Amino acid sequence: MATRHKDRDKPVGKGAQIRGPLHELIDRIGKEIADENCVLFVGAGSSTEKWPRGRSFYLTVRAMTSLSESDTYTFPEVMQKFCDERDGGHHNLLIREAIHHIEHFLLPGPDNRLVSQFSSRLAMIPFFKVVLTTNWDPLLERALNVLVPMTQDRDLAFWDDQKKQVIKIHGCITRPHSIVATQSDYDSCVAANPLLFNKVRDLMATKTFLFTGFSLKDADFREIWDTITSRLGQFSKLAYAIDPFATDNDITYWSQRGINIFRVRDTEFLEGLRNHFVDAAMLPPDRLIKFLMSERNRIVKLHLKLKQDCDGGMSSAMYQDGLLHELDYILDELQLGTSRQQDFENELGLMHKNVRAAHKQEDPIEIAYYSGRYAVISAYSEADCIELPPYFHPSRLTPLQKLVKGKVWNFPKRRKGEPDNQAPAHTEGHSSKADTFFGVCKHCAELLHKR
């Protein structure tokens, strides 16, 4: 892929067709995102409150209080009223209601697909290293493969700058005691987790913030904004927000407070942004990712059927090991967002070096294995969607479309009850399951090759 796209900063193709506020926003913030200097701040409008089943959680809870439906109350005011009236000021009943509201969104089905549209698209863009959210649901961290979201001070012990991080300043439903819901919770949340909010303060001083999933006309966002800025200070850089329903008055009001609003849908923005990075050769196209996934499934099926009772079977098994390991590496890195294009270019150079070293050492097993890995990373780098040769010639040491058996091994027949000590089982003699990969591993291959 790197060799086909030279003009990395030039928007072409789909990106060039973007018009209006989306195009302007990407022009303004695209480089900050690519340099990993943009923090995404996500509200419930990009998650479970976007398509609520029946009433939103806010309306559901308010209906269980004595508050008038004709009056306007902020989210924490409603939550506080519910706790005071129904639970003696405690949070237990409120959290039970929240669990009941959220849990069906986590089950496979149409509701989950709808509320996961934003998070699943976000997972395809690796440049947002830090995501802040006020959401209680675990959709973001699940989509981003973040095992430990930051919800309290003690979580910071597991902060890793090399990985994506999700900061949940209002807690998480999977850790009920961390939930920030009522007015008293809002007032005390910064003091309750000073180290966590110091991290937020540092981000505010050094990064560009992009807000999504908030209705900027609502009092709820102003409550969140006031809580952050009054206790942590102002944002040092101009912030941005996407809100397709923002009015001219909203845009004027927030521009005076350092936020530029763009009338763009959240999923529309992420799709446009990904197209921009694909056109700049900073991300692989969707067709290439689908091709790699399809190739992995195809090679696995062939690998499981392959008989390793001949030179061609053994060399092809080692070659297929290389194919599968490299396919897994690329797909995992793309999903986790831990590697950049330069890392994949370095991987290409490393695999080429390993193939040459194996030839120099005249090691046929290593030649087959690293030839498989090199074939995959080369296809990725060139953005080729042509089926990979699945077999390896045992004497020419080159990839093939069809199996060439070469010398067939004739093992002596076992007597009844006698253990098979000629062809070791794939999982015997290994220190861990990681030593094997569906078929014969390199350890077994070396034993068989010597025989």
Tell me the two tokens of residue 183: 């007015």
- Residue 67 CB neighbours (<10 A): 17
Predicted local confidence at residue 227, as pLDDT: 74
Predicted local confidence at residue 334, as pLDDT: 86
Q: What percentage of the chain has pLDDT greater than the value 70? A: 84
Average predicted confidence (pLDDT) for the chain: 85
Note the CATH number of domain 13-279: 3.40.50.1220
Distance CA 355, CA 368 (A): 8
Displacement of CA 11 from its chain's centroid (Å):
24
Distance CA 243, CA 250 (A): 10
pLDDT, greater one: 449 or 175: 175
Q: Is it the case that residue 90 has pLDDT exceeding 60?
A: yes
Mean pLDDT of 29-56: 86
Share of the chain residues as helix, strand and coil, in percent rounded to the nearest 5: 55, 10, 40
H helical segments located in 265-407: 266-279, 286-305, 311-336, 341-361, 364-382
pLDDT, greater one: 225 or 290: 290
CB of 364 within 8 A of CB of 437? no
pTM, entire model:
0.77
Q: Is it the case that residue 151 has pLDDT exceeding 50?
A: yes
In the chain, CATH 3.40.50.1220 covers: 13-279
- Residue 365 CB neighbours (<10 A): 19
pLDDT, greater one: 210 or 111: 210
Query: What's the pLDDT band for 104 if we cut at 50, 70, 90?
Result: confident
